[in-house]
Chains A and B, each alone.
Chain A
Amino acid sequence: MNLVEGIFVKPFQDMFGAPDFLIQVLWEGLVAGVLYALIALGFVLIYKSSRIFNFAQGIMVVFAALTLVGLYEKGVPALLALPLTLVVMFLLAVAIERVVLRPLVNQPDIILFMATIGITLFLIGFGEIIFGGENKVMITEQLFIPTGSFTFEPFGGFVSIEQKDLTAVIGAVLLVAGLILFLNKSKMGRAIRALGDDHQAALSVGISLSTIWVLVWFIAGVIALATGIVWGARAGVSFALEVIAFKALPVLMLGGLESVPGAIIGGLAIGILEKLFEIYWGQPLLGGNTETWFAFVFALIVLLFRPQGLFGEKIIERV
């Protein structure tokens, strides 16, 4: 009886008993969700255009953030370090395309997936040699990201909203809007989408595979940089950040591997739901730390009903 009450009654009592706290939980979930969506977006772009499940997206986040902070520490002004980091990410994209992707064209998916894990390991070692393993401070102030916080006092409690989280949300919205505009309106963007629809047809109308691949990996690098700045501002930049790549995987399951809106909606949904579950069910009933698996199990259950994810393309199989 107690258990039933704990599952079905008490959490809702708590929610409405302390609405300010609920708002805070939702806000925290939303911010986390925005970050998950950003990482998932990087995955989706690459998967859409090249059918590569890019596991290296997580380390690219770390690498981009470290490059930015590392350059700043070497004495490069922050506003110059930012474009320089973009240049580095571009070179990385070119290198990955040349060294890894080109020789592996037409290999089975799992081989390409393994190759991206190889890239991850390589970048971890490489990054630690260059930047060292210490936890670094993200240069928030130098990039003109506000660091204060707004405090509201609804329902007799308080809700505190960090300005940098707010900046992150706004920045992410702008980034996504720009990306969608780019994909839909520009010539290059349409080429990317064409490649996603049908490789050979795209090649036959003169779209260059290697250019698009470099471009797509570069865009993924830009997204990684944005994610790295935002996440790094929250908790510092170190290689421990790499694990957030796993957080994007259930988002992909939920949203579908090739859907941009799926990544965004899935990211937000998972961010909010896992926070709610952890606070109102996980911590009182299960001993906490449910965030490590909740998103996966949730996505798995959804997938049992929709095997291609919420927004994925319907899988039609023929013999």
Chain B
Amino acid sequence: MKKLLKTTLLCAALAAGTVLAAPAIAQDSVNLPNLSYRTGPFASTGIPLMNGQRDYMMMLNERDGGMNGVTLGYEECETGYNTEKGVECYEKTKATGIVTQPWSTGITLQVLPKSNVDKIPVLAPGYGFSAMQDGKTFQWAFNPPASYWDGANMILQAISDGNLDSLKDKKIALLHLDHPYGKEPIPLFEQAAEKHGFTLLPIPVGLKEMQNQSAQWLQIRRERPDFVLMWGWGAMNAGAITEAVKTKYPMNQFVGIWWSGHDGDMKVSGEAAKGYRAISWSLPNSQAPAMQDIKKHIVDAGKSMIDQAGGEFDWVFYQRGVLISAMLAEGVKVAQEHFDAKVINAEQLRWGLENLKFDEARIAELGLEGMIPPFSTSCADHTGHSGAWMIEWDGTKFNKVSELLTADRAAIDPLVETAAKEYAAANAPWPINEECKM
């Protein structure tokens, strides 16, 4: 035993030494860490996204030798969707990484105030804090191409056929995860409910009840809402779909946010969940040139971690992961070209993410046509507001069922402004980037 302890101590000392000494960075690479979660109750939704992110970066390295000759270092740090682990990962990666991808609204909220001090951009595509769109206040945070408030507004448009006033006297239930992520859209829905005269009924699902939502669905059955909107994640999605099928809730009145439109979750119910819709700013297009390149260089070469037999390659979430990495890689490229530097630093990447231009031509050039709506970010607008499509489950896969929807800025921007102001006040002294023109 003593010997064992001695060995352990030795190892500990050794490891402690390596922790203290910052590892040297290779000359021609940029480190783009990702706070992933392939473990824990949210792993089922995390894994395809992480796989997509990883495979796109690896594909660029294989196909083009990185970005302008600079290897894109993709490194995962496992959080298990646990906020505490996430912050630890942030601390661990901030020394060498030039970006943080926190992958959870809870972790984003923790990292956000530190990003100003540490000067590291926080990239939270399609998640995080909706007010992050205000680039004046949140200089270091980015949530392209659409925020939750955009999503909430677009869902309301979709279920009312574009006329929100037709929702008057309707009852809308918001089935959400009882976590910062699930609570994020509530202010927008509350405001819309007041303005358009519908009743909002938030139904929280605790982290411990994700797989057993019978109480929540009994409530839905009792209240008989006209629509059920879902802000679900991980095991909660599959649980909700099964319960909805059981409660015989009409699927065409059940709509999810983009994180609730996951093929893996729907497979549990299969045919019975037909008609379920979700809003999504990404569409799978396995024929797109970039996807074909991934298939050629990574998947067929056996370097991918995806579950090929399960058809993961065609999943919405896998391809969304690809898009997320594409945005980041594009940010790197823009920064490289603007600063005429190869190995960029965090501050330069910030500029790059602020000047993303995903117009039709560029999307086609990247080989991602049909996968993402055009958008562009600016100093004042860190979201880009691409808009999104409705996708519908047909029993085996998701199909696009709507034209591109765009959020009603007039409904969202005032709310963003107040939220950003409140945030800055609560965290005073908080720097505001006054150079930005709105």
Contact = CB atoms under 8 A, between A and B. Distances in A.
Complex: A in contact with B (CB within 8 Å): yes
A135 B264 contact: yes
19 contacts: A21-B218, A21-B221, A132-B43, A134-B47, A135-B264, A137-B268, A160-B248, A234-B212, A236-B238, A236-B268, A238-B41, A241-B211, A243-B208, A244-B212, A246-B208, A275-B215, A278-B215, A289-B206, A291-B209
A32 B215 CA distance: 11
Interface in B41-61: 41, 43-44, 46-47
A149 interface: yes
Interface string B235-256: 1001100100011100000000
A289 B46 CA distance: 25
Contact of B209 (A21, A24, A287, A289): A289
A133 B219 CA distance: 30
A128 to B, nearest CB: 6
Interface string A283-298: 1000111011000000
A235 B248 contact: no
Interface in A262-316: 275, 278-279, 282-283, 287-289, 291-292
A289 B178 CA distance: 9
Contact of B235 (A238, A282, A287, A288): A238
A120 to B, nearest CB: 14
A240 interface: yes
B218 A134 contact: no
Interface of chain B, main secondary structure = helix
Report the interface size class on chain B: 35 or more
A95 interface: no
Given A21-B221, A235-B239, A275-B214, A135 B209 contact: no
Interface of A: 18, 21, 24-25, 28, 32, 128, 132-135, 137, 149, 160, 162, 231, 234-236, 238-241, 243-244, 246, 275, 278-279, 282-283, 287-289, 291-292
B218 A24 contact: yes
A282 B239 CA distance: 21
B210 interface: yes
* Candidate in A21, A149, A283 with the most chain B CB atoms within 10 angstroms: A283
Interface in B150-194: 178
A298 B341 CA distance: 65
A160 B216 CA distance: 16
Given A134-B43, A135-B265, A162-B246, A235 B208 contact: no
A279 B219 contact: yes
B203 A288 contact: yes
A21 B214 CA distance: 13
A234 B47 CA distance: 23
B39 interface: yes
3 A-B pairs closest in CB distance:
A133-B43, A240-B41, A135-B44
Contacts of B247: 160
Nearest to B214: A28
B242 A133 contact: no
A291 B44 CA distance: 25
A282 B204 CA distance: 12
A279 B218 CA distance: 7
Contacts of B235: 135, 235-236, 238, 240
Interface centre among A128, A236, A241, A289 (most CB of B within 10 A): A236
Contact of B204 (A240, A278, A289): A289
Nearest to A27: B214
Nearest to A35: B212
B323 to A, nearest CB: 21
A25 to B, nearest CB: 6
A292 B209 contact: yes
B215 A291 contact: yes
Contact of B212 (A32, A134, A149, A283): A32
B222 interface: yes
Given A235-B268, A236-B268, 8 more contacts: A132-B43, A134-B264, A134-B307, A135-B265, A235-B238, A235-B239, A239-B39, A275-B218
A229 to B, nearest CB: 14
Contacts of B41: 238-240
Contacts of A240: 41, 210-211, 234-235
Interface in B27-50: 38-41, 43-44, 46-47
A238 B222 contact: no
Nearest to A134: B44
Contacts of A236: 211, 235, 238-239, 242, 268
B214 A32 contact: yes
B246 A133 contact: no
B215, B219, B265: residue with the most chain A Cβ atoms closer than 10 Å? B215
B350 to A, nearest CB: 33
A149 B246 contact: yes
A289 B218 CA distance: 13
Contacts of A132: 43, 47
A241 B210 CA distance: 9
B47 A133 contact: yes
Given A18-B222, A288-B204, A292-B206, A133 B211 contact: no
Contacts of B421: none
Contacts of A149: 246
Contacts of A235: 211-212, 235, 238-239, 242, 268
Point out which of B40, B43, B205, B211 has the most chain A C-beta atoms below 10 A from its C-beta.
B211
A22 to B, nearest CB: 10
B119 interface: no
Given A32-B212, A235-B238, A291-B209, A133 B268 contact: no
Kindly name the residue among A235, A243, A283, A292 whose own CB sees the greatest number of chain B CB atoms within 10 A: A235
Which of A132, A134, A160, A246 is most buried by chain B, counting CB atoms within 10 A of its CB?
A134
